Structure 1
Amino acid sequence: MSVSPPKRLVIATRESRLALWQAEHVKARLEAAWPGCEVSLLGMTTRGDQILDRTLSKVGGKGLFVKELEEALADGRADLAVHSMKDVPAEMPEGFALIATLARERPLDAFVSNRYASLDDMPPGTVVGTSSLRRESQLHAAHPYLGVEPLRGNLDTRLRKLDEGKYDAIILAAAGLQRLGLGDRIRAVLPAEVCLPAAGQGALGIEARADRHDVAAWLAPLVDADTAACVRAERALTRRLGGSCEVPVGAYCELVDGKLWLRAMVASPDGQQIVRSEGRAAPDEAQSLGERLADALLADGADQILASLSHG
């Protein structure tokens, strides 16, 4: 079906440096796909950006980073919103849809330190900063002798706190550092065997109102089918588990020899209990792969971990 080219599009975005980079990247892609279209940004500060003294798991979760952007979509101030897919809740609110997933940057976590070359080099009692229960649980499991302290703020704020000596090392998403030209801050990339990333990490997603079929058609040229299939599997798994930032869940899917390879884990925050599973399927079976793997995790004991967290 042919679609009339857009004349004007407004992108809602958070105002952190990384979020603005992501929005500018989508803006440039749209202008290349639709010459003559005027694309502008609507910068916004979200609740998640404002609350910096508590971990996300204690103040409402990932939805704090998208609610204000969704309000701009709902009232027509913006046509689309750009998100880091790892920040998008597994369950989309009624009336909204993820309409495009762009090609993924490196999805793994990065070790950043001014003192040490790797986690293995850190002596007992040194402190690692992270805002993620997922990272914290895996750090405790692999390096129980290290201290782990909460770290909030945008990427620049976290790096500043490291440089001020408040932490011996911090863990960040490699993708954000690379996108902002800060790849030289990465001392080591943590392999998935050590630290499974969050569902959707490294991928950019575009959200719009579910009834804006025109916007979905205009975004179609930006879609990366392989990334979309991998992220669909990861999100299906976390959705089945009821996953949020309150639950340490890792999910990482790759396309290997034409098949999706999904690895996942559920852990207790202290890293004492970790349940892992993996599976493979064709790209068009992404959702069922994620759901099947979630069921396997639950059957192997993840249900008990999740129940203990909900009661806690």
Structure 2
Amino acid sequence: MKIRIGTRGSKLALAQANYVLEKLKERFPENDYELVVIQTTGDLDQNRPLDALGSKGIFTDEIEKALLSGEIQLAVHSMKDMPDTLKDGLIFADPWDREDARDVLVLNDAESLEDLPKGANIATGSKRRSYQLLALRPDINIFPIRGNIDTRIRKLREGLPDGTKLDGIVLAAAGLKRLGLESEISQYINISDMIPAPAQGTLAIELKADNEELLKMVNSFSDEVIRNITYLERGFLKKIGGDCHLPIGAYASVTDTGYELRALFGTEDGSKMATTLVSGEKATEELIDKAVRDIKRQLEE
């Protein structure tokens, strides 16, 4: 079988796609594998803020068209960048083990958020990160930032195009670790202080719904725990009705008695924010509904 794996062209996207390719090649060496780099709308427009570009499909539309046409057989994405509903004819394979889901600070001089001087300049392209950061340090200034990980670190060291000097940026731990850049991390932010994006650190492996043989191969790398965790986090995203314009977070974990779901939701301008922590013996829709009800109750108060 010839398996072409579609991916964006950034270092992180290539690292993730190569990881999937090598895992498949190791377990199923009888197949031929090839990486296919596909440019997306989001890659071509690096200037406007993400929320000004529209839906999350800006990083996936061209890749999904290649899947549907048969140009590629698999696509590898970051699950946190994926919309809650896929195009007709496409499905996700079961998720594999996720990387570290936490957000991190990469700082120029300070060692932690607490060490930053009053009025420090921090850059992030995420409203979820911005509003949670301001809840911890209301005195800091938040600036938008675009680009891949290397570009963002370069802007941190050299300053923004308008001359603004930055003290730090917020990134996902998963991306830095997958690129071998863990040494750049100044501080891991506790989940309780900054709830990650739903399924942050988890790869989304997408394929045509009727490709049963390939689906079986890819699903062989999954397990029940990661399926349940992803179900809870992505389920909250879908039930709360969020999109890329709104601050949304969800983090599920296994406890001694079952599962725990920590979630965040707020208004676009950050004027209203709510968080919740719910738990149950099983990863069920009821647990997701419990989190959604509590969030909505808080926002209506």
Match of 2:70 among 72, 76, 88: 76
Q: What is the letter of the counterpart of residue 72 of structure 1?
A: A
Q: Give SS of 1:275's match.
A: strand
Task: Say which is worse superposed, 27-36 or 11-20, in terms of deviation.
Answer: 27-36
User: After the TM superposition, which segments of 4 or more aligned residues of structure 1 sit over 6 Å from their partners?
Assistant: none
Residue matched to 2:231: 232
Query: 1:273: how far off?
Result: 2.6
Query: 1:234: how far off?
Result: 0.6
Q: Is the 8 A contact 2:245 2:268 kept in 1?
A: no
Q: Which has the larger helix fraction?
A: 1
Unaligned stretches of 5+ residues in structure 2: 161-165
Q: Is the 8 A contact 1:137 1:268 kept in 2?
A: no
Match of 1:124 among 112, 118, 127: 118
Q: CA 1:282–1:93 in 2, change beyond 3 Å: closer, same or farther? A: farther
TM-score (norm 1): 0.90
Alignment coverage as a number of residue pairs: 296
Residue matched to 2:293: 295
Distance 1:175 1:150 in 2: 21
Q: Is the 8 A contact 1:229 1:284 kept in 2?
A: yes
Residue matched to 2:90: 96
Residue matched to 1:21: 15
Query: 1:212: how far off?
Result: 2.0
Distance 1:266 1:171 in 2: 19
Q: CA 1:122–1:227 in 2, change beyond 3 Å: closer, same or farther? A: same
Q: What is the letter of the counterpart of residue 117 of structure 1?
A: E
1:275 aligns with 2:283: no
Unaligned stretches of 5+ residues in structure 1: 1-6, 305-312
Q: CA 1:268–1:123 in 2, change beyond 3 Å: closer, same or farther? A: farther
Match of 1:140 among 134, 139, 157: 134
- Give the alignment's Cα RMSD to 1 decimal: 1.6
Distance 2:168 2:91 in 1: 37
Q: Is the 8 A contact 1:85 1:201 kept in 2?
A: yes
What whole-Å deviation, never above 9, does each CA across 1:201-257 have from its counterpart, x for those lacking one? 011121112222222112122213322211110111111111122110111111122
Residue matched to 1:206: 205
TM-score (norm 2): 0.94
Distance 1:26 1:232 in 2: 21
Q: How does 1:1-312 map to 2 (within 5 A)?
A: 7-166=1-160, 167-257=166-256, 259-269=258-268, 271-285=270-284, 287-301=285-299
Q: What is the letter of the counterpart of residue 128 of structure 2?
A: R
Q: What is the letter of the counterpart of residue 294 of structure 1?
A: V
Q: CA 1:283–1:76 in 2, change beyond 3 Å: closer, same or farther? A: farther
Q: CA 1:94–1:139 in 2, change beyond 3 Å: closer, same or farther? A: same
Q: What is the letter of the counterpart of residue 280 of structure 2?
A: A
Q: Give SS of 1:101's match.
A: coil
